[in-house]
């Protein structure tokens, strides 16, 4: 991707799954990548695995803790002198019947997914503004459609979509802010080593999608690289669905 050489990117949750794929593609495009992770084992694995691709560093960070987030930004500036790209990717789910969903669980999901996105954006914004940088948030098709027992996750992702367009207006024109909402993305091969496995995708799984397959982390990473580059300079405040057309498919039983 053009225009990413020597840019400095922070990827929260960059040690596994989609975040790991984004780390790889940004490094291949010439960016320097900070893996902001609470899982040190996963982050160190990525550091070692991708060391030959470019400059990749792990900084321990808890996105729910404002002091930790502030320290993440300050350490990135100390190391590289700039921040060009922030990808708010860290997130969890805790799906269970709403009658069994405790307030602590609800608050924890929102703290990591939504409040973490807010805190990282807040503390990166002054540095991003100096570089006309970009923020890319991680939403979900759960903002538009649901399975049962996903209240905390769906609410957090809906909040991220709304936060995205609010930030785009508040931080523009110096910073562009967009959101990616993935559908079914198979991340099993992108987990840390002790949890890594080959996906068990069936033909029925694939054919639920109008494109004829389940998504991969690379599908999301490619869009991240585009949104992070000057080539997408007229896009801000958008939520982009990457779901193989699944949310557009009418299903009759």
Which sequence positions are flagged as catalytic? 153
Spatial separation of the C-alpha atoms in residues 124 and 98, rounded to whole Å = 35
Determine which helix (DSSP H) or strand (DSSP E) holds 241, and give its type and residue range: strand 239-242
Contact yes or no for 134/85 (Cβ under 8 A) = yes
Going by their DSSP bridges, the two strands 8-12 and 176-182 should be labelled as: unpaired
Spatial separation of the C-alpha atoms in residues 45 and 43, rounded to whole Å = 5
Tell which residue, 227, 249, 246, has the closest CA to residue 238.
Answer: 227
Going by their DSSP bridges, the two strands 56-60 and 85-88 should be labelled as: unpaired
Tell which residue, 117, 116, 102, 118, has the closest CA to residue 152.
Answer: 102
Spatial separation of the C-alpha atoms in residues 220 and 113, rounded to whole Å = 18
Local structure of 132: helix, strand or coil: coil
Tell which residue, 89, 83, 79, 77, has the closest CA to residue 36.
Answer: 89
Spatial separation of the C-alpha atoms in residues 218 and 203, rounded to whole Å = 20
Contact yes or no for 218/25 (Cβ under 8 A) = yes
- Tokens for 68, please give them: 């930790």
CB atoms within 10 A of CB 213: 15
């Amino acid at each position: 991707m053009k225009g990413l050489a020597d840019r400095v990117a922070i990827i929260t949750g960059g040690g596994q799954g989609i975040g790991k794929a984004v780390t790889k593609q940004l490094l291949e495009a010439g960016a320097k990548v900070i893996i902001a992770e609470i899982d040190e084992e996963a982050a160190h694995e990525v550091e070692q695995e991708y060391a030959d691709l470019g400059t990749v560093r792990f900084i321990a960070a808890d996105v729910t803790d404002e002091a930790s987030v502030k320290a993440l930004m300050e350490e990135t500036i100390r190391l590289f002198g700039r921040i060009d790209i922030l990808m708010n990717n860290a997130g969890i789910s805790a799906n269970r019947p709403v009658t069994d969903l405790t307030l602590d669980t609800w608050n924890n999901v929102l703290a990591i997914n939504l409040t973490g996105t807010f805190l990282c954006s807040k503390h990166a914004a002054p540095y991003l503004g100096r570089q006309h940088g970009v923020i890319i948030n991680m939403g979900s098709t759960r903002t538009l459609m649901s399975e049962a027992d996903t209240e905390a996750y769906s609410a957090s992702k809906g909040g991220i979509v709304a936060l995205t367009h609010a930030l785009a207006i508040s931080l523009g024109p110096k910073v562009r802010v967009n959101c990616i909402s993935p559908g079914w993305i198979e991340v099993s091969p992108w987990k840390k080593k002790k949890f890594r496995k080959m996906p068990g995708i069936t033909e029925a799984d694939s054919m639920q999608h109008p494109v004829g397959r389940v998504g991969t982390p690379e599908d999301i990473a490619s869009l991240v690289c585009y949104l992070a580059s000057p080539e997408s300079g007229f896009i801000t405040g958008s939520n982009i669905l990457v779901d193989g057309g699944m949310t557009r498919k009418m299903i009759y039983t």
